[in-house]
Structures are given as C-alpha cells and as structure tokens.
Amino acid sequence: MKNFMALISQLFPYLFAFATLAGVLIFLTVCSSSAKYNSTKMDTSLNQKILSLEKEDPNTIIQFTGKTNVVINDQTKKELQDTGINIETVVSDIFTANGTGSSIKKVSLLDFVLYLELVKKLDIK
C-alpha cells in the first residue's frame, strides 16, 4: 500500500497535466464547432455581411432567402426555426427569413438546405 501511494504521489503532476490538457482540448473543440458553417451554400454578399457583422454587431438581424431540396412542411419549418431564425414566408421549397449571423450559419448546416442568399433591396421608381 505504501508503494502504491508513493507511485500515485509521483505520478500526480503528470496526471494533473494530462487532465488539464484534455480539458483544454475539449474546450477548444466545443468552441470551434460553434463557428462551423457551410459557406458554399451562401451567396457571397450574405457570407460577407455575416463576417462583417460578427465583428461589428453580432446581434444584428439579417434578412435572407433560402431554397431547400424538399417542400417545406411543418417538420422542416420547425428544424429551420430551431436554428434560431424567424421564418417570414414559405412557398413550396423557398422561404424568406431573418436571423443573426450565427443562426444563419446553423441553417447552412442543415442537409436539406441547398442555398441561402441575402435579400436584395428593390429600388422601385
């Protein structure tokens, strides 16, 4: 028993270092996963708007449109809303919505979402 306790006391600094390193790696993995998104599903203007607002004001609401590979039903609409966006209109497989940059990034990770684009302001004269 004495030998066991001596061994533990000798290994304690190494065990502590290993546990600390493991904790840091887990923390970094969790933090980096929140920044993941699929930029290939976004038009350039939407992607640039999200990136610029993340630095300036991450809570700014962005209006956008999206296209899916399925007709949007109640279940699909719920999955979209669970990302934190607000759905405005739905017509078949196209929707208009608004949300923060981080919620739009989450939408881009949904398998059934094909494309997202920034709403363009119409200049009607």
Answer for the pair 107, 84: CB distance below 8 angstroms, yes or no: no
In a domain, 123, yes or no: no
Are 67 and 114 in the same domain? yes
pLDDT at residue 66 is higher than 80: yes
Task: Indicate the pTM of the whole model.
Answer: 0.70
Are 60 and 109 in the same domain? yes
Are 8 and 60 in the same domain? no
pLDDT digits (tens, 9 = 90+) for 91-105: 999 999 999 999 999
Give me the sign of the Cα torsion angle 119, 120, 121, 123. Answer: negative
The enclosing domain of 109 has a CATH number of: 3.30.70.2980
Give me the domain span that covers residue 13.
Answer: 1-34
| CA–centroid distance for 123 within its chain | 32
Are 43 and 3 in the same domain? no
Q: What is the structure's pLDDT at 119? A: 94
In a domain, 125, yes or no: no
